[in-house]
Amino acid sequence: MKDNQHVLVFDLGNTRIKSACFFNDELIEVEYFNPDDTSPIISYCNKYKGAEKIVASVRSDEYNQNFQSTINGCQFIDVATPNGLISNYQTSTLGIDRICNAVALKNQKGGTRVSIDIGTCIKFDCIDSDGVYLGGSISPGIKLRYKSLHDYTAKLPLIDENGSQQLIGNSTFKSISSGVINGVFAEILGFIDFYNANFTDLTFFVTGGDAENFDFPLKNGIFVDENLTLKGVYLIYKFNAV
């Protein structure tokens, strides 16, 4: 790895692409892109000619192949890429996004560390005080819950409401948004309580595109780090850099 070199890292998510520029280990810029339009990404990369371009993706193989052929010189990391984690996970199907979050957690100081990634899915991932990855949980995120209510009922509408919602909905629209948004928040707070009941010296890191919909109490070891996954991508790049 060369000093004084820009490194662009990309997180290809299901609903958006997020990118960060690192320089001398410092995150200096974050950008967001529409997955269906790569032209702004090309322009962004041209802004940093000569930069390393590192990509982590949860999208389809076809999309990844097209992205790689469009963005010249980009390098994908995946579940087979060495990352330095000691893991207790029992299968080889752990997603690269969860791996990146775990690597970022390992780099944080403290005892047991837990990431709460609120996006298409809600993912908890846990690193113990010895730096061992234990695993976590996956459940549907906000949009998946709205979509399932519409797809698996005959008459409930498909809505896309974000932000805080009143507890008691006085219409079908408001009842759905209360159930989904307040239900997600209650689930997350409940999981935090479960972790606190099973571990001591806990620190939680909240991240993900939908985290902005919730007002987490920034105390009792709960912090917001909207760039946690990108930091993990960068750390995996560093681990493999020659």
Q: Are residues 4 and 46 in contact, defined by beta-carbon separation less than 8 angstroms? A: no
Residue closest to 120 by CA, chosen among 152, 86, 93, 95? 95
Our answer to whether residue 193 is catalytic in this structure is no
Q: State the Cα torsion 167-171-173-176 to the nearest 10°.
A: 40
* DSSP code of residue 182: I
Q: Which of 11, 97, 117, 210 is catalytic?
A: 97
At residue 85's C-alpha, the angle toward residues 126 and 31, to 5°, is 75
Q: Are residues 88 and 135 in contact, defined by beta-carbon separation less than 8 angstroms? A: yes
> What's the CA gap between 230 and 233, in Å, rounded?
5
Using CB atoms within 10 A of its CB, is residue 120 exposed (0-12), middle (13-18) or buried (19+)?
buried
Which residues belong to the active site?
97
